[in-house]
Structure 1
Amino acid sequence: MKRLYNILTHIAAFLIKIAALFNKKLKLGVKGRAKTFSVLKSEISDKDSVIWFHCASLGEYEQGLPVFEEIKSLNPNHKIVLSFFSPSGFEIRKNTPIADCVVYLPLDTKKNAKQFLDLVHPELVIFVKYEIWPNYLFEIKRRQVKAILISALFRKKQSFFKFSGKWMQKALFTFNHIFVQNEESKKLLEQIDYAEVTVSGDTRFDRVSNQLNIDNSLDFIEVFKQDKLCVVAGSTWPEGENLLIPFINNDNTNTKYVIAPHNIKSGQISNLKTKLTKATVLYSEKESVEISNAQVFIIDTIGFLSKIYSYADIAYVGGAIGTTGLHNTLEPAVFGVPIIIGDNHEKFPEAKTMIDNNGMFSIKSQEEFNSILNQLIQNDNFRTTSGKHNAEYISKNRGAVTSIMAYLNKR
């Protein structure tokens, strides 16, 4: 199995280079990985004390950030290397102040693993959630470097827990400790005799809770919203927008709508605006039009959504109508906002819990969407109570960072 994995990795490397000729995202990754070793040589010296953080993409970065910040503050004399596998993480966070050096992680070959670790020579390695790269992990173990996996989430169907996945199980055992999000994940690890596991919860709860401690005010949202009820639709995809558009077009109340599409390409934004019959304004137009007169505000930029949720009375979070994956529902939940999502959320345990707590509502049709959104708009008590359940859920699940840091401080 090990030999087959290594063969397939080399084949994948070749195929990715071919595919990158026709795919912009893959091209970014191929070019970025080609520069990794030269960047490390210029940024990291043999005398540096180094801590290495690795994330697959932006979501894992946000998940690990509260831990990264704590480690950085406690180790001011160490250099921090942050690696990403995906361009969607690297391109957005390549200038993050949390790290001294941000790079793409080269593909998981034995040669790459040895060269990467020769250059980084970390004292501590932190991987986030799903990142299990056997050759890197085996090389880390061989060098006796301490490595932990945080906010891990395991499911029975994963290869680690099948007879055919015995070799991948060995990669898990290279971690000195694994911090998991729930009891189910812990039990799965214990079934394969991995004992160094702690149920710490999800660091995202700590991350979003920190949002309450900063200034979330946005002048342009205050001018737009005024004292009206506001629905914020965050990280939307066309499938979800197809439910939002007819609802908004037929809404005769004074409700305001903020739509923050996941894809902000001009063509998609223009198409969305054209389909809306209510007065609509784009963020990029806000300096030239009177936004207070609009009923719909489309955010055709990035970086504001977490603060915009603080103005929401009701939230819709995209991704679960189609197959793209549910986006971050904890961001609106921390502000005590009731949330509507699609029905494709089985891989998101926080969604199941909030649904069970009656703070989140899963829909699969226009009729269901209209029904629950109308209830939330028209019933003040129902809306407030539902949102309160979400805020309480976030509050009760904080503390993952404290648990992880308590372990690391013993090292």
Structure 2
Amino acid sequence: MKIIYQVAIQVFAFLIRFIAPFNHKIKLGVDGRKGLLDRMRESLPGLVAGRPVAWFHAASLGEFEQGRPVIESYRDAYPDHFILLTFFSPSGYEIRKNYNGVDFICYLPIDTPANAREFVRIVNPRIVFFIKYEFWFNYLRELRKNGSYILSFSSIFRSNQIFFKSYGGFFRKMLGYFDHLFVQNRTSIDLLEKANIGACSIAGDTRFDRVRAIASSARELPEIARFKGASQCMIAGSVWDADMQVLIPALNALTGKLKAIIAPHEIKAEEIAGWRTQLMGRSILYSEVAAGQSPDDFDYLIINNIGMLSSLYRYGNMAYIGGSFGVGLHNILEAATFGLPILFGNKSYHRFQEAVGLMEKGGAFSVADTPQLLKIVESWVENPVEARSAGDISSEFVLSGTGATDLIMQKVREAMG
């Protein structure tokens, strides 16, 4: 299996270089890794200047946001340490490459034996944090040889993962390289212990800490408040076309009774234009509002930029979160922390523990189609107290889930001495 893994990594490295000219996202990652080790070899020793190095690795943007509370708590606890942040995906690196909470940000070189050996030699991290789902054999092996203290946090394990299969011994070995794994639930602990991985404990999900921090520092957006006025308002966050095909007929049925702020997961002008033609009410783009057009007399505000969503939820009475009719449910906690009742599609949400948990408590609801969605939203519009009661459950759910960062930092202090 080790040989298969090493061959697969080499094939993967070849394929992404081959595909890069035809795929913009992949090209960003390939170009960002060109000459990276040479640049690090030249610049990093001078930047580190003998300080202890803490290395945080996130696959993409979502994992970075999950890890951010720990990064910032580490910075507060060890202000004299050097913090390195790496990303695997361009969707994380390109958006957060200017994040000022760390000292150096770069892509993670592909996990070949040579790359891992040289990267660890250059960085020489004293402590390493892998956020959620990152398990790279060559890096873990080299870090173990280097004597680095290795942590994983916000992980969640399921019985169908390869670690727990009869043929998964090689992958279980990766888990054994960690000094400690902080997981989200009891099921994960049971699976790890059954696999003879004893250095593990439940800390929960650091995203709860992150969204609480977001809520306390959310921006005031006067233009959004002006758009909403005295109306009830739905925030449709991270929506895809599959979500909008369920949402649009419901919004049309409620024209004049409910406003909506629509934040697409991906900004595609042609797709947005198509939605606007299907919506019966008047719609305006955020870029038009930012350019000075009044949003007062519009039913729908469509956000055609990135980075505002977490501050928009404070202006909602309810939220619909996208992704569950396709790739997978997006972040519901940002809406929940503002005390909104939450809706999402009934397809791809089951692997998200927070969605299942909030549904069980009555703060979130899955819908299969427009009639189900319309029935719930109409009830909330006609009876705002009902919506607020479900929203109170949402905010309490987030509050009760905070504290993971403190547990992780307690272990860090033990490890650092």
TM over 0.5: yes
Task: Indicate the SS of the match to 1:293.
Answer: coil
Are the equivalent residues in 1 in contact too, given 2:60–2:90 (CA < 8 A)?
yes
Which amino acid is the alignment partner of residue 348 of structure 1?
A: F
Which amino acid is the alignment partner of residue 305 of structure 2?
A: T
- Cα distance in 1 between the residues matched to 2:406 and 2:83: 20
- Cα distance in 1 between the residues matched to 2:374 and 2:240: 18
Are the equivalent residues in 2 in contact too, given 1:216–1:310 (CA < 8 A)?
no
Are the equivalent residues in 1 in contact too, given 2:69–2:210 (CA < 8 A)?
yes
Are the equivalent residues in 2 in contact too, given 1:132–1:171 (CA < 8 A)?
yes
Within a 5 Å distance, the mapping from 1:53-202 to structure 2 comes to: 53-202=56-205
Task: Indicate the SS of the match to 1:39.
Answer: helix
Which amino acid is the alignment partner of residue 391 of structure 1?
A: S
Question: Which of the numbers 304, 307, 311 marks the counterpart of 1:303?
Answer: 307
Indicate the larger mover: 52-61 or 282-291.
Answer: 282-291
- Cα distance in 2 between the residues matched to 1:276 and 1:25: 31
The Cα of 1:268 is off from its aligned counterpart by 2.0
Q: What is the aligned length?
A: 410
Partner of 2:330: 327
Which amino acid is the alignment partner of residue 274 of structure 1?
A: T
Q: Give the CA RMSD over aligned residues.
A: 1.2
- Cα distance in 2 between the residues matched to 1:150 and 1:86: 19
Within a 5 Å distance, the mapping from 1:248-327 to structure 2 comes to: 248-286=251-289, 287-322=291-326, 324-327=327-330
- Cα distance in 1 between the residues matched to 2:230 and 2:37: 54
Mind listing any 5+ residue stretches in structure 2 that lack a counterpart?
none
Are the equivalent residues in 2 in contact too, given 1:181–1:202 (CA < 8 A)?
yes
Indicate the larger mover: 183-192 or 251-260.
Answer: 251-260
| 1:36-62 residue CA offsets vs partner (Å, 9 max, x unmatched) | 213323431074321110000000000
The Cα of 1:351 is off from its aligned counterpart by 0.4
Partner of 1:229: 232
- Cα distance in 1 between the residues matched to 2:197 and 2:223: 52
| 1:53-97 residue CA offsets vs partner (Å, 9 max, x unmatched) | 000000000000000001112222222111000010000000101
Are the equivalent residues in 2 in contact too, given 1:48–1:78 (CA < 8 A)?
no
Task: Indicate the SS of the match to 2:208.
Answer: helix
The Cα of 1:340 is off from its aligned counterpart by 0.3
Question: Which of the numbers 28, 39, 48 marks the counterpart of 2:50?
Answer: 48
Are the equivalent residues in 2 in contact too, given 1:43–1:101 (CA < 8 A)?
no
Task: Indicate the SS of the match to 1:315.
Answer: strand
Question: Which of the numbers 389, 392, 416 marks the counterpart of 1:388?
Answer: 392
Question: Which of the numbers 378, 383, 391 marks the counterpart of 1:379?
Answer: 383
Indicate the larger mover: 164-173 or 251-260.
Answer: 251-260
Which amino acid is the alignment partner of residue 268 of structure 2?
A: K
Indicate the larger mover: 251-260 or 296-305.
Answer: 251-260
- Cα distance in 2 between the residues matched to 1:39 and 1:364: 51
1:247 and 2:243 equivalent? no
- Cα distance in 2 between the residues matched to 1:222 and 1:380: 19
Are the equivalent residues in 2 in contact too, given 1:9–1:107 (CA < 8 A)?
yes
Task: Indicate the SS of the match to 2:296.
Answer: helix
Question: Which of the numbers 199, 219, 224 marks the counterpart of 2:222?
Answer: 219
Indicate the larger mover: 267-276 or 226-235.
Answer: 267-276
Which amino acid is the alignment partner of residue 152 of structure 2?
A: L
- Cα distance in 2 between the residues matched to 1:363 and 1:375: 14
Indicate the larger mover: 396-405 or 70-79.
Answer: 70-79
Indicate the larger mover: 243-252 or 166-175.
Answer: 243-252
Indicate the larger mover: 118-127 or 45-54.
Answer: 45-54
- Cα distance in 1 between the residues matched to 2:394 and 2:138: 41
Are the equivalent residues in 1 in contact too, given 2:60–2:87 (CA < 8 A)?
yes
Task: Indicate the SS of the match to 1:409.
Answer: helix
Task: Indicate the SS of the match to 1:43.
Answer: helix
Indicate the larger mover: 343-352 or 268-277.
Answer: 268-277
- Cα distance in 1 between the residues matched to 2:367 and 2:43: 49
| 1:203-246 residue CA offsets vs partner (Å, 9 max, x unmatched) | 00000111232243111101101121110000000000111112
Are the equivalent residues in 2 in contact too, given 1:48–1:79 (CA < 8 A)?
no
Which amino acid is the alignment partner of residue 27 of structure 2?
A: K
Q: 1:19 to 1:237 in 2, by over 3 A?
A: same
Which amino acid is the alignment partner of residue 93 of structure 1?
A: R
- Cα distance in 2 between the residues matched to 1:216 and 1:284: 18
Are the equivalent residues in 2 in contact too, given 1:94–1:102 (CA < 8 A)?
yes
Large movers: runs of 4+ above 6 Å: none
- Cα distance in 2 between the residues matched to 1:43 and 1:387: 50
